[in-house]
Amino acid sequence: MRGCLVLALATLCRARHCGRDEVEKRQIHGCTSLKHTGFIGHRNAIWLGHALHHNVHLRTLDLHNTRFGDDDAIAIADGLRNNTHLKRLHMYNNRIHDPGIIALGHALLENDCLEFLSLGSNGCTDKGARALADGLKGNRALRRLDLYFQLIADEGAIALAEALKVNRGLRMLHLDNNRIEEAGGVALAEAVHGSPAGVFGSGWQPSSLGELGLMYNPMGDKALEALIEAAKANPTMHKLGLDHIQGVPKDSPADQKLKQDHIPRMHHRHKLARWLVHSELIDSEGFSDEHLDRELADPKRGHGGWHSADGPPLASDLAPAAEALKAHTHEGLLALRHTAEAELKAHPALSKLTPQKRDALVKAVLAAVQHAISKDET
């Protein structure tokens, strides 16, 4: 009986979603998610930051559009330093400027749990971006960082690019609608591309990002071309947003490369990555609840929480095998409709997979084939 009671209480804790009332009552023990939008007040922010210390229940904290300022963000950052369970922190559309951003950057050096940090539509400048970059250099847990609609220019972009050469955990970085020009764009391209070790110094591996957003930045055609080439050279990147780059004349060589080369390539890779994730062949590490999936599907914030400790989806050895089978296309699946399971397992593209991965891929492909047949018949 006691065991059943403990199990029931544990299930209740896992399902407890809290909001404004719990904050006002200052009682969030057992809350697994907390969403408070609207004015929260500095006293509540200080209390909430203190409550985060050693909190073992809360996984998602949504504080967007709460009129959070720097002091409030500093209080939350302090609570993050020794928090070991919070995965997602939403603080976009607030009034957080460099002091608050810097505190969060420092917290990343000590926090080894947070995976998603959304800071879009705040007031981060190069100074704040440098602090976040310093935090990323010493952080292995963060998978996604949103910094769209900020005031980040070349200096901040260069600092973030240097961090990407070191950090192997981040999978998504969104820098859309900033002030990044040519120098910052080229630096980010270098980080994405990677560099082999030379005679006079060591190089760096290509960035571990699967997704990078740089739309609506005044980078110009040189940076645009460098980023297109970097994405081409980095086969694990499935999304590099380069639409509406200012300073690129219409129908210029860079514009033509964007439209005719880059966009089709990214569309193909994105489709393959999505198939791997939706087929549950790639671990998305908890970003699977329906509400959050709808929220993350917003084009301003990307296409879901696709990430794994092992890398972005296209870094998996399942990716080239699935691509060879054309399993991510309707036509490719229909072409496999008369292929037996044993024949699929013997396909040369699957020869380097472990038996377990080969079986999982074949099972997913056969299920997708049946779905494609049903869809085609209707």
pLDDT at 196: 83
Buried-state track 223-239, b at ≥16 Cβ within 10 A, e below 16? bbbbbbbbbbebebbbb
User: What is the token pair recorded at 106?
Assistant: 């420092």
pLDDT tens-place string over residues 22-68: 999 999 999 999 999 889 999 999 999 999 998 999 999 999 999 99
pLDDT at 116: 96
User: What is the token pair recorded at 294?
Assistant: 């709808």
Give the pLDDT mean for 94-111.
Answer: 98
Q: How confident is the model at residue 8 (pLDDT cuts 50, 70, 90)?
A: very low
Asked if residue 137 lies in contact with residue 163, where contact means CB atoms within 8 angstroms, the answer is yes
Give the pLDDT mean for 351-369.
Answer: 96
pLDDT tens-place string over residues 224-281: 999 999 999 999 999 999 999 999 999 999 999 999 999 999 999 999 999 999 999 9
- Listed in sequence order, the DSSP H helices in the chain are 2-14, 20-25, 42-52, 70-80, 98-108, 126-137, 154-164, 182-193, 220-233, 253-257, 263-278, 290-296, 318-325, 330-335, 341-345, 355-377
Asked if residue 60 lies in contact with residue 29, where contact means CB atoms within 8 angstroms, the answer is no
Share of the chain above pLDDT 70, in %: 88
The 8-class DSSP code of residue 198 comes to B
CATH number, domain 10-310 = 3.80.10.10
Q: Which residues pair with 60 in a beta bridge?
A: 33, 88
pLDDT tens-place string over residues 305-349: 445 667 899 999 999 999 999 999 999 999 999 999 999 999 999
User: What is the token pair recorded at 200?
Assistant: 């006079």
Angle ∠(372,307,169) on CA atoms, nearest 5: 155
